[in-house]
């Protein structure tokens, strides 16, 4: 039998894994990045992100269903905005760190890198 603390910890890990799964696609990270500064319509997002409308709509639906994004109707347009600033902050932090590591790999001490290791063949 699990103790209450173990059950709570298990639930924390489950919820964290669900959030990471939602954020685990480059397209969703692009969407969040595009919406960081201001809300945008689907058409505006399509101009900014190189994808098809059906693909974008699928990713927007996942981000909306999980509470990362909010939406509203304006005439025939659907306008999306960030709802979970903490999810965006998490993404921004990780992506910024990885960008630094890609630009200056020697500046990151061994064992402190977030970017996945790539194997270089000789």
| pLDDT at residue number 119 | 45
Q: What dihedral angle (degrees, nearest 10) is formed by the CA atoms of 27, 29, 30, 34?
A: 140
Tens-digit pLDDT string for the chain (122 aa)? 556 778 788 899 999 999 999 999 999 999 999 999 899 999 999 999 999 999 999 999 999 999 999 999 999 999 999 999 999 999 989 888 888 888 887 877 777 788 776 644 44
Strand runs (DSSP E) across the chain, as ranges? 40-41, 69-74, 77-82
Q: What b/e string do you get for 20-29 counting C-beta neighbours within 10 Å, with b at 16 or more? A: eebbeeebbb
Count CB neighbours of 68 within 10 A.
Answer: 24
The answer to whether domain 26-107 has CATH 1.20.1740.10 is no
Q: Domain residues of the chain, as ranges? A: 26-107
């Amino acid at each position: 039998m699990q103790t209450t603390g173990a059950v709570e910890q298990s639930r924390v890990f489950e919820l964290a894994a669900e959030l990471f799964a939602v954020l685990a696609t480059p397209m969703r990270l692009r969407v969040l990045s595009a919406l960081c500064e201001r809300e945008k319509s689907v058409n505006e997002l399509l101009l900014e992100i190189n994808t098809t409308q059906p693909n974008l709509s699928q990713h927007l639906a996942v981000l909306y269903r999980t509470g990362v994004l909010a939406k509203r109707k304006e005439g025939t347009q659907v306008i999306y905005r960030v709802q979970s600033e903490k999810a965006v902050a998490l993404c921004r932090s990780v992506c910024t760190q990885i960008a630094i590591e890609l630009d200056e790999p020697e500046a990151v001490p061994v064992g402190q890198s977030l970017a996945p290791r790539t194997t270089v063949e000789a």
